[in-house]
Amino acid sequence: MNKKVIRLLVLLALAGTILTGCAVGVRAESTPGVTVTEEYVYVAYMQNLYKLDRFNGAQLSSFPERVSTNLAMYAPVVVEDGYVYFGDLANNFRKVSEENLNQVVWTFSEAKGWYQAKPALDGDLVIVPCTDRHIYAINKETGTKTWVYNGEYAFIAQPVVVGNKVIVSAQDHHVLVLNAATGEELYRVEVKGAVLAPPLYDPETDSVFVGSLGREMISFNLTTGDVNWTYGTADLDTIWATPILLDNQLIFTDKNGKIIALNPDTGEELWQNHAGGTVIAGPTLVGDKGFLVAREDGTMSFYSSELQGGDWTVTVPGNIYSKPIVDGNQIFVPVVKADAFIYTYSTTGVPGWSFSPSK
């Protein structure tokens, strides 16, 4: 082989390596998936699922034992009876032991898409949305498929189980209501845009509240599927997150940062406020005291429902795209573009621990 041929082969190999380098490895970008239990915090981010001490942020263990560039995890896990259930971007959904994350009980590999959303638990089933346009109901004991719902687009929001119904946000401008035992579609409610966040269910009024990218908030009756009311104004922007109910007010944010409170029974506007910047994560309840609004730029403010204003504000050193989690007197904030994956605060705004794997 002459030099020219060798040079050409080297060049081709180099080009292949560069192009491949652009494409393999982590193929999706998302925020850390955080789940808080009584003792632990689980953080699914990039190549690992981390188990942390809830009170000091110390890393207790991680999955997998050997990091692979072909594996990525972003969906928050669910934990029940000593087991952790989670999916990844390598199309696998697992049940592992809470004691030892690397002790895999079963792996469900039938899906052909990624698991981006938190699953829901319902009796013997774990109900898992997948980007392959399916929702899988997997038997928790055996890891086998009990039913599957075939949709038209990727499912990326956590389903909500209410009695024998599963409420599913769909990107195809619908909210689907399925039979929890069989996966059969009972009915669907049309909305004006893609629904990206889980709906909110109010057991007192049997109402479901959901916002969409179609710049509207709707309420429908879960039993009948009838739409109670629709709220939308000319200056309302897209709605990316689940609303909250506080003091008989339905509170939600739009992307522009407007904070809007409605009467949950009528859809009548009660008041408006502004977070002062882009809000993707939406409001988060802080017990019955008030709520948090975390802006994309990391500014997080606490609002009491009575004052309707920012009572305290902290600047989280990162960008916030998913809802902070409030549990007890702790606030857990998943962030991107920061030194750490998660920052914690007290419910009065005092900074706590943060976690990055290097620590």
322 binds another protein (CB under 8 A): yes
Stretch that binds another protein, among 7-15, 40-48, 258-266, 287-295 (CB under 8 A): 7-15
* H or E element in which residue 9 lies: helix 3-23
Site track 326-355 with another protein (rule: CB under 8 A), x = hit: ----------x-------------------
Nearest distance from C-beta of residue 238 to another protein, angstroms:
7
Nearer to another protein, 90 or 105 (CB): 90
Q: Which is nearer to another protein, 98 or 216 (CB)?
A: 216
Is 257 in a helix, a strand, or coil? coil
User: Which residue in 172, 197, 175, 199 sits closest to 188, CA to CA?
Assistant: 175
Query: CA of 217: how far to CAs of 31, 73, 187, 192, 251, in Å?
Result: 25, 31, 19, 10, 10
Residue 119 CA: distances (Å) to CA of 34, 95, 127, 209: 13, 12, 6, 20
Of 140-179, binders to another protein (CB under 8 A) are: 152-154, 156, 171-172
The correct pick among 302, 303, 321, 355 for binding another protein (CB under 8 A) is: 321
Residues in the chain, total: 359
Binding pattern for the stretch 15-54 against another protein, x by CB under 8 A and - elsewhere: xx--xx-xxx--xxxxx-----------------------
In the chain, the amino acid numbered 183 is: G
Q: Is 134 helix (H, G, I), strand (E, B) or coil?
A: strand
Which is nearer to another protein, 222 or 316 (by Cβ)? 316
Nearer of residues 151 and 290 to another protein, judged by Cβ = 151
- Rounded CA-CA distance 219/118 in Å is 23
Q: Tell me the DSSP string of 299-340.
A: EEEEEETTT-SEEEEEE-SSB--S--EEETTEEEEE-BSSSS
CB-based contact 274:299 (threshold 8 Å): no
Q: By CB under 8 A, what part of segment 81-140 binds another protein? A: 112-114, 116, 131-133
Beta carbon of residue 199, minimum distance to another protein (angstroms, whole number): 15
Q: Tell me how far, at minimum, the Cβ of 278 lies from another protein, in Å.
A: 9
CB of 139 to another protein, least distance (A): 21
Binding track over 282-301 against another protein, x by CB under 8 A: --------------x-----
Cis bond before residue 64 (omega within 30° of 0): yes
Size of the site for another protein (CB under 8 A): 48
Contacts of 30 (CB under 8 A, 6+ apart): 74, 116
Which secondary structure element, helix H or strand E, spans residue 107, and what is its range?
strand 104-108
Which residue of 4, 66, 123, 234 would you call a contact of another protein, by CB under 8 A?
Answer: 4
User: 200-202 and 325-327 as β-strands: parallel, antiparallel, unpaired?
Assistant: unpaired
Q: Which of 167, 196, 325, 331 binds another protein (CB under 8 A)?
A: 196
Q: Which residues form the interface with another protein (CB under 8 A)?
A: 1-2, 4-5, 8-9, 12, 15-16, 19-20, 22-24, 27-31, 74, 112-114, 116, 131-133, 152-154, 156, 171-172, 192-194, 196-197, 213-215, 238, 240, 280, 296, 321-322, 336
